[in-house]
């Protein structure tokens, strides 16, 4: 049979994830995805091959160097950056504190930093704390709480001559809103400010191009897209050259090593590369560059998730005892809801008893849940889709939430 575009076969995809065999509906992907067998094998193979620390004269050390180089190239293929601009580390939060510390050394009292109430706290607090130390002023972009949108227009009055950095998310980790990042970063650039885009929630849900987003820095975490617990920040190497994070005297001063602290998790880096190849193989032709194949696959993933999410959202919205949060025009397949008569914790426990994994609480969307006025009451329940979820997961969720009607 001939298809005019690659086919996304969710049954085959699910079979590649050993953890999914336990019969649970994994609707907790926004907090971290499961990993396919190829990732587990890559980590195990790297470990078994004999690894050494970087830069040594013996083969085990060369293998570690090759793994690191391969990982940078693979991450660059996911987001469209350059391998020598990929900073690797344990997670996005650690790397964001690192970049914030380095950038803040260039700030003067009275400089301004713009953060948003839509963001995960990992793209808010590091900037606030760094700004406080530098005497810089924080300016807030607000969420329209009736829609969950982060209107880009407000940035025209938030960004000015003193703005040094604009930190904004490419997608909310609870209500899924995808703001107009390109418009926001363009305003930042026009004012001579840098942008730091949190792509942790956005990356697993569709194709990413840091140039199209206009992001000076783009942060992502491989464990949200079928990889192990590794984070990455991608920037132009020329920009990284201008920054000088705190570092040990003997550690490499070259970019991007300058930004990386201590000994990397080499085996996990091998797993990240395997995860990128997994993404590339989800629904793409076998030919083409890794970047081409990731883009083709993620375009299909986005389409698949959107269709499935439409069923999930329509089901929740049809229930009189359910309140959903966020109705942004462009969003990821992430639902956030409360159920009348049950606390979010009780809902999560009810679902867990039916073998459905969801998260309840603020999920570190601290400012947003505060702005929505739900944080003190336990916030809400998050059920999110990733590419390995299927209609049976959605139907189980809807049936279990229906049971909570009183």
Residues forming the site for ligand PLP (CB under 6 A)? 31, 91-93, 120, 122-123, 169, 173, 198, 200-201, 221, 231
DSSP state of 262: S
Q: Give yes or no for a contact between 86 and 232, defined as CB atoms under 8 angstroms apart.
A: yes
Q: Cα(204)–Cα(254) distance, rounded to whole angstroms?
A: 30
CB nearer ligand PLP, residue 16 or residue 123:
123
CB nearer ligand PLP, residue 201 or residue 293:
201
Furthest-apart CA atoms within the chain: distance in Å = 69
Minimum gap (Å) between residue 123 Cβ and ligand PLP: 6
Minimum gap (Å) between residue 322 Cβ and ligand PLP: 23
CB nearer ligand PLP, residue 16 or residue 173:
173
| Alpha carbon separation from 207 to 187, 191, 272, 302, 350 (Å, rounded) | 23, 28, 17, 8, 35
Minimum gap (Å) between residue 157 Cβ and ligand PLP: 25
Q: Residue 14, CB half-sphere, CA atoms under 13 Å: how many?
A: 16
Minimum gap (Å) between residue 94 Cβ and ligand PLP: 7
Rounded to 5°, angle at Cα 242 from 122 and 220 = 30
* Nearest Cα residue to 35 out of 392, 396, 386: 386
CB nearer ligand PLP, residue 169 or residue 338:
169
Supply 379's token pair.
């916030």
Minimum gap (Å) between residue 72 Cβ and ligand PLP: 17
CB nearer ligand PLP, residue 273 or residue 363:
363
Q: Cα(336)–Cα(344) distance, rounded to whole angstroms?
A: 10
Supply 396's token pair.
């189980």
Minimum gap (Å) between residue 359 Cβ and ligand PLP: 10
CB nearer ligand PLP, residue 284 or residue 386:
386
CB nearer ligand PLP, residue 237 or residue 361:
361
Beta bridge partners of 140: 115
**Taking the CB of residue 3, how many other CB atoms lie within 10 A of it?**
6
Q: Give yes or no for a contact between 181 and 162, defined as CB atoms under 8 angstroms apart.
A: no
Minimum gap (Å) between residue 122 Cβ and ligand PLP: 4
Q: Cα(201)–Cα(222) distance, rounded to whole angstroms?
A: 11
Minimum gap (Å) between residue 178 Cβ and ligand PLP: 11
H/E element holding 197?
strand 194-198
CB nearer ligand PLP, residue 120 or residue 178:
120
Supply 38's token pair.
């190829």
């Amino acid at each position: 049979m001939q298809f005019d575009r690659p086919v996304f076969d969710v049954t085959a995809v699910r079979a590649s994830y050993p953890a999914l065999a336990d019969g649970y509906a994994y609707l907790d992907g926004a907090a971290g995805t499961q990993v396919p067998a190829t990732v587990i094998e890559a980590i195990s193979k790297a470990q078994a091959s004999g690894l050494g620390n970087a830069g040594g004269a013996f083969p085990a050390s060369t293998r570690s160097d090759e793994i690191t180089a391969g990982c940078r190239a693979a991450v660059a293929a996911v987001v469209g950056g350059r391998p020598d601009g990929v900073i690797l580390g344990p997670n996005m939060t650690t790397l964001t504190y690192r970049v914030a510390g380095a950038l803040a050394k260039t700030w003067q009292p009275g400089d301004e930093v713009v953060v948003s109430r839509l963001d995960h706290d990992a793209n808010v607090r590091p900037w606030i704390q760094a700004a406080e130390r530098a005497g810089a002023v924080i300016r807030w972009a607000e969420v329209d709480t009736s829609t969950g949108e982060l209107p880009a227009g407000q940035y025209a009055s938030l960004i000015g001559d003193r703005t040094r950095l604009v930190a904004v998310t490419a997608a909310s980790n609870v209500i899924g809103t995808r703001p107009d990042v390109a418009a926001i970063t363009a305003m930042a650039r026009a004012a001579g400010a840098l942008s730091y885009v949190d792509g942790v929630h956005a990356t697993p849900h569709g194709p990413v191009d840091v140039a199209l987003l206009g992001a000076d820095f783009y942060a992502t975490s491989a464990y949200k897209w079928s990889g192990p617990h590794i984070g990455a920040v991608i920037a132009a190497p020329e920009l990284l050259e201008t920054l000088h994070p705190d570092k040990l005297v003997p550690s490499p001063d070259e970019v991007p090593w300058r930004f990386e602290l201590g000994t990397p998790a080499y085996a996990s880096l091998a797993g990240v590369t395997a995860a990128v190849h997994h993404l590339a193989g989800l629904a793409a032709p076998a030919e083409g560059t890794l970047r081409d194949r990731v883009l083709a696959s993620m375009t299909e993933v986005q389409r698949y998730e959107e269709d499935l999410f439409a069923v999930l959202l329509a089901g929740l919205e049809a229930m009189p005892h359910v309140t959903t949060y966020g109705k942004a025009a462009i969003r990821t397949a992430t639902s956030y809801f409360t159920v009348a008569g049950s606390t979010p914790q009780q809902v999560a426990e009810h679902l867990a008893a039916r073998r459905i994994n969801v998260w309840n609480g603020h999920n570190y969307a601290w400012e947003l849940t505060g702005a929505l006025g739900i944080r003190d009451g336990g916030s809400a329940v998050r059920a999110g889709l990733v590419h390995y979820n299927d209609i049976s997961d959605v139907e189980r969720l809807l049936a279990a939430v229906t049971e909570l009607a009183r």
